[in-house]
Structure 1
Amino acid sequence: MSILYTAKTTTTGGRNGQSRSDDHRLDIKLSLPGSSGTGTNPEQLFAAGWSACFIGAMGRAAQEIGITLPADTSVAAEVDLGNDVEEGFFLQARLNVSLPGLEHAVAQSLVDRAHQICPYSKATRGNIQAVVAAI
């Protein structure tokens, strides 16, 4: 096992605060989801990170079977923050994957394989409800 990269951030103020990375590439304001604040929120950041990583995992899956991802491949990620009376706060997600020009069966096969190898998918598997589908 080898560590390929370590992200380092410091956040102050929680959901109404600010988050900065040690390399100064990330410097963002945070706001509560649905509020009138000017910042983003952790759910949006998670959706962006997971969708970007998922495209990389699909690229790896495509290499495995000897095809190239379409240039206009996209992942529309939706991350819900919910509250259950009995269980408390929870996340759930949907990744809707567009692979223009690929047969649906091939596209879904790539999506399924990517869901097995994507680090975000692995981290969430069994922890949150996630639906991942080629559209």
Structure 2
Amino acid sequence: MRQLISSGAPWEPIVGYSRAVRVGNVVEVAGTTAQDGDVITGEGDVYAQTKRALEKIGEALAAAGASFADVVRTRIFVTDISQWEAVGRAHGEVFGAIRPAASMLEVKALIDSRLLVEIEATAIITGVGNAPSTGN
């Protein structure tokens, strides 16, 4: 069974993607930023943007029947690698005890020049009673 989780963004059907997809016990969360519509949380503040992106990832995981504890891999894309400590601190506040495999890469730009960080996550649900819900 394939479960699609939407963020509700108007560009999802245009681009052809979902915020997250669950197939079996695997959940893939797409690149997630601090952008909500036209608003960017923490504009100019990479720590605040990282926190918001992680909140949104948590929401997508929950919609797929998963949690941060199920995350086995994160990929972090930053526009300024010199800001890695602030990004890492926010990531560590969520994943410090979970410690998924993680990569942090500097990229030239993200889809909006105000965005400083984008995060992807992969989760594998191993708990009992985590059947996917019907939906999107």
TM-score (norm 1): 0.33
Higher relative contact order (Cα pairs below 8 Å, separated by 6+ residues): 2
Structure possessing the higher radius of gyration over alpha carbons: 1
